[in-house]
Structure 1
Amino acid sequence: MENSTHTIIEFTRELHTCDINDKSITDSTVRVIWAYHHEDVEEAGPKYHDSNRGTKSLRLLNPEKANVLSVDLPSFDLVNQDVPIPNKDTTYWCQMFKIPVFQEKHHVIKVEPVIQRGHESLVHHILLYQCSNNFNDSVLDSGHECYHPNMPDAFLTCETVIFAWAIGGEGFSYPPHVGLSLGTPFDPHYVLLEVHYDNPTYEEGLIDNSGLRLFHTMDTRDYDAGVIEAGLWVSLFHTIPPGMPEFRTEGHCTLECLEEALEAEKPSGIHVFAVLLHAHLAGRGIRLRHFRKGEEMKLLAYDDDFDFNFQEFQYLKEERTILPGDNLITECRYNTKDRAEMTWGGLSTRSEMCLSYLLYYPRINLTRCASIPDIMEQLQFIGVKEIYRPVT
């Protein structure tokens, strides 16, 4: 169709064409190339597009960004106020906020990123953590660099991720039967907003006002949502050698860990409805594998063409149940062919991570389920024969 401002073209293609020159379309990220000319066509056919062209990463098979919500919902913002961005490649900035006081239970049913115009490539990801409720408003100051020796002690109580957004992602709407609970004694009163700023060109004088907007309703849903961070604990023990066209690491959410959390509260299991897969620049593919009683089940989520600059929650086509006795493995594939030095696990964009964030219901008392490689085995593998003092 065409109107005074837009031309819309619809086309179809088989997902798998059996033609060696065609890429199969899967649940993974697809790089789409686009080009157009301002005028549609002349007598000889379409006009050459000239410089109106580009690429975009898309997940073509992401089930419809479910239930597009009406915009007249009440909302509140958790956004930074004039944060000065240092001229270094990676900064994690943390700011505590108080959630508005609700007299009764509410559900957040949609979360949108609020990114300062022009800072779309600077703001790499945003995590929202629930903090201890035993504070007063004196903890609410202008924010600090996260994971820093001078960071306030209050930040150490903020361990439970309640929402995650990453670059390239858009707003997220919860399914119609689930919401993020606010207003009860067990819900967050104070939250920590962690923003990862990526400034590889060391630009100076940047001031940022980005964060999240939360839309909420008193018309509560059937279930409260939770987030589990699974995968490899972020640390220097995560090592990736240089010069590798392909190298895999894996993080385990073990049977014992899940069993302990589920048996106590939810022996009938929890239901996963969306997953965010997360690695850094060397990441090429991530798979979230699911095992039950030693048998591997269908992949929970995967992206075999991971794009660091396009990370968003994948809605699962069908919700997946996780039961006591299950375990999960987050498996990451890296390429370090162009690197001459070791790549270590860490917070910097040029370090690495291997994580998956599972959005699920009903909420249980489990926030992280991760493993760490055995450092002694690694040292033996590279030929260390004897260690004179403990490795810390």
Structure 2
Amino acid sequence: MLQVSGAMACDLLFRLFLLLALAAALQSNRLGPTSRLRYSRFLDPSSVMFLLWDFDLEAEIISFELQVRTAGWVGLGVTNRYTNVGSDLVVGGVLPNGNVYFSDQHLVDEDTLQEDASQDAELLGLTEDAIYTTMRFARPFRSCDPHDLDITSDTVRVLAAYGLDDTLKLDREHTFVKSIFLLQVVHPDDLDVPEDAIIHDLEITDFLIPEDDTTYACTFLPLPIVSEKHHIYKFEPKLVYHNETMVHHILVYACGNSSVLPTGISDCYGADPAFSLCSQVIVGWAVGGTSYQFPDDVGISIGTPLDPQWIRLEIHYSNFNNLPGVYDSSGIRVYYTAQLRKYDMGVLQLGFFTFPIHFIPPGAESFMSYGLCRTEKFEEMNGAPVPDIQVYGYLLHTHLAGRALQAVQYRNGTQLRTICKDDSYDFNLQETRDLPSRVEIKPGDELLVECHYQTLDRDAMTFEVVENTTGWIPDIIPTPPGPCLESSGGKVEAQDKTPAGFRSSPVALSSSSKATLRRLPLAAVLLVQSTLSGLLAMLQTRV
């Protein structure tokens, strides 16, 4: 299996670094039975099951509302990547006589439910009408019951099921698993929308997708022509519906303004040296992602003499079924405004550089790869001293063998923090995510990207093109889990309690809601993007 990707290194966009401090909001929502739940998603292809949720980061409690087109029972829980056995499932329904039943359970096998000895879900409402059964409940991120899987900042595989009547028996036709990033700290509705917003599309038109497994198609396009400085504040994918997902990722690279660029659509990694003139990523999207709006105080600068006028649009197609005659017109839509934000934004890209060969052996339960970036080289590459870098978000990316990723920061030889991680990575859910608070990177820090792969389903070597360099990879100290919350109802058995970090009194839910402002350093976006995986970070400077 040969997979080739563009060069991924930690040497991009180092001219945008004058940083100041700003106020950033952290969420602290107290949720009750009638509180508005800000997030929502359909859980099945037929849109029968609709989930709403919200959470209180301070109390570490999450609330769910599941609406299902059925007169039977409904269930919602969390499962893992490999099997539903052992998954937790909160179930409930309304009997024909109007009585309500509700229980915290788990799967002892693929078809059988068993009630937990510890009841860690709190019922907030359960109704049934002519169309829907609706169940709302709250549970702690981490209970003291080993049958309850944790709600974390990783990708969470949500398990949902329902029955056509009130017999609690799992039917695989009515059981679904969907990967969701539940703990989103910023909701799009919380961001400002400029009144003078302008749309500009960057797209490939009527491109015949080759019948090859993998194609990297590139073209050169102009950015919006403006006579004065503007800011791009949002982007979203423009995807053409096909019978299968063929667009793997879309990247927008800034080109040097003195570049003489070719026309038409060509292979991104062919012989044409012009493609190397546009290597600075400014926007990245991957499969499973949606639109992303930058924080209210940052944007991508366009319209000044230092800003790019042209971009290289790269679309990675995966035509694994080698379908003939499929045309595509996908791309990226950007939104820009004349209402300038406080800071310009850029991208720091970390990971594995292409050349020569990196491989993953077949049949591997766990195979680790590492990319180490030494920021002491930034000044040499930039040609001038580099101020502190601030990070506000990230995007993790690896291919099908990827199982987990993390980016860790070191200072003076000591691990400082884990900037971002996902121990439950799902190839089909690659999205830009906001950090709960902004992270400062100082010159001299080291940034380590760890990529975890599994190839138990492969019988041949997996080759990927990356750079192998020598150097010591520092140890990573895992972050210990937070405290669990004791059940507010039901029995907690002795073996269910966590000896360390046990919190005996759960924080009660209420119907009030507030946001807490905290003074934080200015920040930027951190994304992981590479063939194996890598890390990109959007940096920002003062306007």
How far residue 4 of structure 1 moved from its aligned partner, in angstroms, is: 11
Q: Tell me, what secondary structure is at the counterpart of 2:160?
A: strand
- Output the CA distance in 1 between the equivalents of 2:232 and 2:424: 32
**1:76 maps to 2:200:** yes
The question of whether the paired residues in 1 share the 8 Å contact of 2:365 and 2:456 is answered with yes
Q: Could you tell me which residue of structure 1 aligns to residue 488 of structure 2?
A: none
**1:298 maps to 2:420:** no
The question of whether the paired residues in 1 share the 8 Å contact of 2:248 and 2:287 is answered with yes
Across the two proteins, how many residue pairs are aligned to each other? 351
Q: Could you tell me which residue of structure 2 aligns to residue 336 of structure 1?
A: 455
- Output the CA distance in 2 between the equivalents of 1:104 and 1:35: 54
Of 295-304 and 337-346, more deviation after overlay is shown by 337-346
How far residue 15 of structure 1 moved from its aligned partner, in angstroms, is: 0.8
TM-score if structure 2 supplies the norm length?
0.60
**1:172 maps to 2:351:** no
How far residue 85 of structure 1 moved from its aligned partner, in angstroms, is: 0.4
**1:147 maps to 2:269:** yes
Q: Tell me, what secondary structure is at the counterpart of 1:32?
A: strand
Task: Note the 1:1-392 alignment, pairs <5 A.
Answer: 9-35=135-161, 51=173, 53-66=175-188, 67-68=190-191, 70=193, 73-118=197-242, 121-135=245-259, 139=261, 141-149=263-271, 151=272, 153-258=273-378, 260=380, 264-267=384-387, 269-346=388-465, 352-362=531-541
- Output the CA distance in 1 between the equivalents of 2:133 and 2:333: 32
How far residue 108 of structure 1 moved from its aligned partner, in angstroms, is: 0.4
Equivalent residue letter for 1:204: P
RMSD across aligned positions (CA): 2.8
- Output the CA distance in 1 between the equivalents of 2:313 and 2:331: 8
Instruction: Specify whether residues 101 and 248 from structure 1 end up closer, same or farther in structure 2 by C-alpha distance, changes over 3 A only.
Output: same
For residues 250-307 of structure 1, give each alpha carbon's deviation from its aligned partner in whole angstroms, at most 9, with x where no partner exists: 001114324545792433x011011111111111100101011111012000000111
- Output the CA distance in 1 between the equivalents of 2:539 and 2:299: 10
Equivalent residue letter for 2:429: F
The question of whether the paired residues in 1 share the 8 Å contact of 2:408 and 2:417 is answered with yes
For residues 158-194 of structure 1, give each alpha carbon's deviation from its aligned partner in whole angstroms, at most 9, with x where no partner exists: 1101111111111111011110111011111010010
Q: Could you tell me which residue of structure 2 aligns to residue 368 of structure 1?
A: none
Equivalent residue letter for 1:108: I
- Output the CA distance in 2 between the equivalents of 1:29 and 1:81: 34
Of 113-122 and 209-218, more deviation after overlay is shown by 113-122
For residues 329-377 of structure 1, give each alpha carbon's deviation from its aligned partner in whole angstroms, at most 9, with x where no partner exists: 0000111222222222239xxx9512011122229xxxxxxxxxxxxxx
Equivalent residue letter for 2:322: Y
Equivalent residue letter for 2:398: A
Instruction: Specify whether residues 345 and 221 from structure 1 end up closer, same or farther in structure 2 by C-alpha distance, changes over 3 A only.
Output: same
Q: Tell me, what secondary structure is at the counterpart of 1:309?
A: coil
- Output the CA distance in 2 between the equivalents of 1:4 and 1:234: 58
For residues 71-104 of structure 1, give each alpha carbon's deviation from its aligned partner in whole angstroms, at most 9, with x where no partner exists: 9621110011001101111111101101121010
The question of whether the paired residues in 2 share the 8 Å contact of 1:271 and 1:362 is answered with no
- Output the CA distance in 1 between the equivalents of 2:361 and 2:348: 29
Instruction: Specify whether residues 119 and 71 from structure 1 end up closer, same or farther in structure 2 by C-alpha distance, changes over 3 A only.
Output: farther
How far residue 207 of structure 1 moved from its aligned partner, in angstroms, is: 0.4
- Output the CA distance in 1 between the equivalents of 2:385 and 2:132: 53
Q: Tell me, what secondary structure is at the counterpart of 2:317?
A: strand
The question of whether the paired residues in 2 share the 8 Å contact of 1:111 and 1:212 is answered with yes
Q: Tell me, what secondary structure is at the counterpart of 1:94?
A: strand
TM-score if structure 1 supplies the norm length?
0.82
Of 248-257 and 98-107, more deviation after overlay is shown by 248-257
Instruction: Specify whether residues 352 and 261 from structure 1 end up closer, same or farther in structure 2 by C-alpha distance, changes over 3 A only.
Output: closer
Instruction: Specify whether residues 11 and 359 from structure 1 end up closer, same or farther in structure 2 by C-alpha distance, changes over 3 A only.
Output: farther
Q: Could you tell me which residue of structure 2 aligns to residue 376 of structure 1?
A: none
The question of whether the paired residues in 1 share the 8 Å contact of 2:201 and 2:331 is answered with yes
Q: Tell me, what secondary structure is at the counterpart of 1:220?
A: coil
Q: Whose radius of gyration is greater, 1 or 2?
A: 2
How far residue 68 of structure 1 moved from its aligned partner, in angstroms, is: 4.4
Q: Tell me, what secondary structure is at the counterpart of 1:154?
A: helix
- Output the CA distance in 2 between the equivalents of 1:144 and 1:69: 38
Q: Could you tell me which residue of structure 1 aligns to residue 53 of structure 2?
A: none
The question of whether the paired residues in 2 share the 8 Å contact of 1:90 and 1:200 is answered with yes
Instruction: Specify whether residues 352 and 114 from structure 1 end up closer, same or farther in structure 2 by C-alpha distance, changes over 3 A only.
Output: closer
Equivalent residue letter for 2:214: T
Q: Tell me, what secondary structure is at the counterpart of 1:109?
A: strand
The question of whether the paired residues in 2 share the 8 Å contact of 1:344 and 1:352 is answered with no
Q: Could you tell me which residue of structure 1 aligns to residue 483 of structure 2?
A: none
How far residue 140 of structure 1 moved from its aligned partner, in angstroms, is: 6.0
Q: Could you tell me which residue of structure 1 aligns to residue 49 of structure 2?
A: none
Equivalent residue letter for 1:17: S
- Output the CA distance in 2 between the equivalents of 1:125 and 1:187: 24
The question of whether the paired residues in 2 share the 8 Å contact of 1:251 and 1:329 is answered with yes
Instruction: Specify whether residues 93 and 16 from structure 1 end up closer, same or farther in structure 2 by C-alpha distance, changes over 3 A only.
Output: same
Instruction: Specify whether residues 107 and 10 from structure 1 end up closer, same or farther in structure 2 by C-alpha distance, changes over 3 A only.
Output: farther
Equivalent residue letter for 1:124: H
The structure where strand makes up a greater share of residues is: 2
The question of whether the paired residues in 1 share the 8 Å contact of 2:407 and 2:448 is answered with yes
The question of whether the paired residues in 1 share the 8 Å contact of 2:354 and 2:465 is answered with yes
- Output the CA distance in 2 between the equivalents of 1:50 and 1:282: 26
